[in-house]
Amino acid sequence: MLLITLAITSQKGGVGKTTVAINLAHSLACRGWQTLLVDSDPQNSVGLSLSEKAKRCPGYYDFLHFQCDVDELIIPTRLPELHLVTAGLTETFFKLETDASAYAGDLARMLGQLDGLNYDIVLVDTAAGLMGHTRGLVRQADFALLPQQSEPLGVRSIMQLLEGITRLKQDEESSVEVAGILLTMVDPHGEESLQVARDLRQMVPGDSLLRTSIPRDPDFVRASAHGVPVALLYEKLSPAALVFDQLAAELEPRLTLQKLAYAEREFTRLLD
């Protein structure tokens, strides 16, 4: 199966993008996919959410700045199917924003190296806004997932982002496809929050708005404070963790992630 690249991007910050990146990557890995999570956000949010020592690890921006190999930067986790590349030397980001096109070849080189490392999917957590270096990342991705906070202003920003991706495909001949719009921080008891979902479903094309949505839940803050995905917060999966398994299941066919047919699989019997 070919490597699939999923950019997680938003028009504005504070929409829960890093929470989505970490927990979706964990859910996909738990479902058996060889998963790599790459942090290209200069805030290094993914690494800091999972481990304080990640702040000192070389990562994505070191790859671009020092021309090293990506396998030198990959950090294994205790889940064998899940690996991480931190943001690393984020000072380079500001240079990228002024001359993003100069690094297009480096991005292609990274994806080429990753294609030979037996990953099924690479998730990239990006900086907010479809501009500069983030634009280059999204342009080279196979799919883009668009988290959006469930608030009235979100309707405007998500439409701007969709228009930006359309222009990206037309002007720069990108083949990126929108995997879906994901509502985050949804208040199931708040009428304004629910109205956003109704408005978006009428405005966006087809089935762009995912059925799964991420609720506003203090467990996400608690999990980040402890440096774990929400699925590892308690001995039993919480409702917040189950949402991400549901999200992974919904995205699999959209991302063309396909399990082997039963006839092609080998099974271990309980008894001979």
- pTM as predicted: 0.89
Output the CA–CA distances (angstroms, integers) from residue 214 to 3, 23, 29, 68, 88, in the order listed: 26, 11, 19, 37, 28
* Dihedral Cα 154, 160, 165, 170, nearest 10 deg: 160
Task: Work out the pLDDT band at 37, boundaries 50, 70, 90.
Answer: very high
Query: What SS3 state is found at 9?
Result: coil
Report CA 208 to chain centroid distance, whole Å.
17
pLDDT tens digits for range 219-271: 988 888 888 899 999 988 888 899 999 999 999 999 999 865 444 556 566 66
**What's the fold here for domain 4-146+218-264?**
Rossmann fold (3.40.50)
Residue ranges per domain, the chain? Answer: 4-146+218-264
pLDDT tens digits for range 47-102: 666 666 666 788 888 888 887 889 999 999 999 999 999 988 766 656 655 555 66
pLDDT tens digits for range 144-200: 999 998 877 777 788 889 999 999 888 888 899 999 999 998 888 888 888 888 888
